[in-house]
Amino acid sequence: MAFSREFLDLIGASNLIPGPSSSEVAIHIGYLCGGWRGLLIAGICFILPAALMVAGIGWLYVRFGRLPAMAGILYGIKPVVIAVVLQALWSLGRTAVKSTFLGFVAVLALVLFVLGLHPLLLLLLAGGVACAPASRTSRVSLSVLPFLTIGGGILATTASFSLVSLFLVFLKLGATVFGSGYVLLAFLRADL
């Protein structure tokens, strides 16, 4: 019983800090079981297989991605990816949207995303609007929103990519993304 309580606390704490929750939980369990050596072994064993698979898939895509047969396979994968994302959005929406006001904020965020607002700015904007009615400083929160929107338009412009800029994009993702990998889709679409 104590282990399950500790495990739930660990999952809750992992959801409060940026980065992939599953990796953080696995690494922390490694630390609990084997100290710093366990942390390193758990981290390597959890991350390395996925990194090798992604590297292999990336190599296959670069090597064979322009072949007509591969184009058909990639075209066939798209509906599956869309279905997985829509199912996750449906489940998350049923859990997260607890009032008409939050539903309005969600629809507004979707519209602004389709119009090209940068995902980080969109998170700030939607979070500010969702929290504004509950705070005494709602007028101040709402008065900042137009400036955030203008700033997001400026931030959304992208420069040419180099390894350094690619590193900075993923550093930003690691530092700002909470929870699951579905959140990455909006960031990857905007930045890459």
Domain assignment present for residue 49? The answer is yes
Domain assignment present for residue 43? The answer is yes
Domain assignment present for residue 32? The answer is yes
Count of the separate structural domains present in the chain:
1
Q: Nearest Cα to 176, choosing from 108, 124, 126?
A: 124
Domain assignment present for residue 19? The answer is yes
Domain assignment present for residue 40? The answer is yes
- Domain carrying residue 5: 1-64
Which tokens is 192 given?
A: 């890459």
pLDDT at 77: 82
pLDDT at 45: 94
Class of residue 60 by CB neighbours under 10 A (exposed 0-12, middle 13-18, buried 19+): exposed
Domain assignment present for residue 122? The answer is no
Domain assignment present for residue 51? The answer is yes
Per-residue pLDDT of the chain (192 residues; tens, 9 = 90+): 456 777 778 877 777 776 677 888 889 899 989 999 999 999 999 999 988 998 898 888 888 877 777 777 778 888 888 888 788 778 777 777 788 888 888 888 888 888 888 777 887 888 788 777 655 444 444 444 444 444 444 444 444 567 787 778 777 777 766 655 666 666 676 676
Domain assignment present for residue 27? The answer is yes
